[in-house]
């Protein structure tokens, strides 16, 4: 099913007014406070895919995601370290990868690079989530703008060396920030993550696109022409040809490929979904206004949303402290688990999301991100 949302310029103007981007006589000092944006908290330029809203000309195709059965909800944690003045830590090659019978903690090869990481920050089997997490690292270098990315990252002892295996192209904190250490898609390991400080009772709406992982064997499409991915992804998983869509109970939707932008259509009444929890309703607004990019395969029958873990905190810990329940749900029959079904089972692909029409093109349905602070 295709849905095209027509021009909604009046709504856009109202939103721009409310956001303070139409200043109506505000003095220059107030305007500067409104428009300056800290790149450490909200990175990348205004036209980055991570910051652009869905557009008024978005064309939607129902994703028909199959219900996840193995767990109520999971996360994929991006390791985000934005401390350019921290001591340099050596990161050496380790070959364990995602083999659960091997040890990620040991130095097994040459130096990949050195990066500023606080001495007390540890990512180890005792602290990470799951057995072999993706553990993509995005770390800000001493120049204050180069982001280096690698995975799967480990730092198993305080003040010790770190390990990883794959190195990705550098990105600029002030640039578009598309690419990085999500190995399935090669998309960013910082842009699109739910950051510490977001989705709190008083933090307001989420103002950027999200990132999700789906169970590829049930939900992602592959053929020899598309090779299982679409822009902005640069790849699909190496095993995609023999895996994507192979455990599907119905025909897989060809638009649902690695890199697809998923969203709740703008004309969908979110209240009709009868959310049981407030944070799910806030998340649903982000899915409607900005969408979420498919960046990796969960490799088991669950949904995952990408969240931050780093020296500045851990999103999942903050969430539980704020809301009184875990973001991760072992069982399907919980209010949060049911709410995640309400979101994921109603998602559509923005099929005309392209380099020249990010979010579907037309007028953005939300105000653009404020300008970045000067260096």
Q: Which two tokens stand for residue 191?
A: 């842009």
**Distance between CA atoms of 342 and 241, rounded to whole angstroms?**
30
350 and 205 in a common domain: yes
306 and 222 in a common domain: yes
Contact 57, 357 (CB under 8 A): yes
**Distance between CA atoms of 171 and 148, rounded to whole angstroms?**
7
120 and 218 in a common domain: no
Q: Name the one residue in this structure whose structure tokens are 């390990």.
A: 163
Range of the structural domain that residue 118 is part of: 79-174
89 and 73 in a common domain: no
86 and 56 in a common domain: no
| CA distance between the termini of the chain | 46
207 and 167 in a common domain: no
336 and 233 in a common domain: yes
User: Domain count of the chain?
Assistant: 2
| DSSP string of 111-147, one letter each residue | EEEEEE--TT--BSTTTSSSSS----EEEE-TTSSEE
**Distance between CA atoms of 81 and 88, rounded to whole angstroms?**
12
**Distance between CA atoms of 28 and 40, rounded to whole angstroms?**
24
pLDDT tens-digit map of 169-197: 999 999 999 999 999 999 999 999 999 99
Backbone angles phi, psi at 199, to 5 degrees: 55, 45
Q: To which H or E segment does residue 280 belong?
A: helix 278-289
Question: Which among 146, 174, 202 is the end of a domain?
Answer: 174
Residues (pLDDT < 70) of the chain are: 1-35, 375
350 and 229 in a common domain: yes
Question: Which among 174, 201, 227 is the end of a domain?
Answer: 174
Other C-beta atoms lying within 10 Å of the C-beta of residue 138: 29
Q: To which H or E segment does residue 14 belong?
A: helix 9-19
Question: Which among 118, 147, 174 is the end of a domain?
Answer: 174
**Distance between CA atoms of 203 and 210, rounded to whole angstroms?**
16
201 and 89 in a common domain: no
pLDDT at 374: 72
Contact 186, 234 (CB under 8 A): yes
Smallest CA-to-CA distance from 158 within 89, 221, 83, 205 is with: 89
pLDDT at 60: 98
The SS3 of residue 162 is strand
Smallest CA-to-CA distance from 96 within 129, 127, 124 is with: 124
């Amino acid at each position: 099913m295709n849905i095209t949302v027509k021009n909604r310029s009046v709504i856009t103007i109202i939103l721009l007014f409310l956001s303070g981007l139409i200043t109506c006589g505000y003095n220059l000092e107030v305007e500067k406070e409104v428009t300056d944006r800290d790149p450490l908290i909200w990175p990348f330029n205004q036209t980055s895919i991570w910051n652009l809203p869905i557009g008024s000309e978005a064309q939607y195709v129902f994703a028909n995601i199959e219900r996840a059965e193995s767990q109520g909800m999971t996360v994929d944690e991006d390791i985000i370290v934005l401390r350019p003045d921290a001591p340099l830590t050596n990161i050496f090659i380790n070959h364990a990868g995602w083999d659960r019978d091997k040890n990620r903690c040991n130095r097994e090869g040459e130096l990949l690079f050195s990066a500023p990481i606080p001495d007390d920050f540890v990512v180890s089997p005792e602290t990470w989530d799951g057995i072999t997490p993706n553990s993509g690292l995005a770390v800000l270098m001493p120049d204050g703008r180069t982001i280096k990315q690698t995975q799967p990252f480990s730092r198993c002892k305080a003040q010790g060396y770190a390990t990883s295996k794959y190195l990705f192209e550098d990105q600029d904190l002030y640039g578009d920030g598309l690419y990085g250490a999500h190995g399935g898609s090669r998309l960013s390991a910082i842009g699109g993550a739910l950051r510490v400080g977001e989705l709190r009772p008083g933090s307001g709406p989420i103002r950027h696109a999200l990132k999700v992982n789906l169970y590829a064997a049930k939900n992602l499409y592959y053929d020899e022409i598309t090779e299982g991915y679409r822009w902005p992804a640069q790849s699909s998983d190496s095993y995609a040809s023999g895996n994507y869509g192979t455990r599907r109970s119905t025909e897989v939707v060809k638009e649902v490929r690695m890199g697809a932008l998923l969203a709740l259509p703008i004309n969908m009444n979110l209240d009709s979904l009868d959310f049981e929890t407030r944070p799910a309703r806030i998340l649903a607004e982000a899915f409607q206004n900005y969408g979420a990019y498919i960046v990796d395969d969960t490799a088991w029958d669950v949904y995952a949303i990408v969240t931050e873990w780093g020296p500045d905190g851990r999103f999942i810990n903050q969430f539980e402290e704020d809301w009184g329940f875990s973001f991760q749900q072992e069982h399907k029959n919980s209010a949060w688990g049911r709410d995640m079904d309400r979101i994921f089972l109603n998602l559509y692909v923005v099929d005309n999301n392209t380099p020249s029409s990010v979010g579907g093109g037309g007028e953005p349905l939300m105000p653009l991100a404020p300008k970045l602070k000067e260096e």
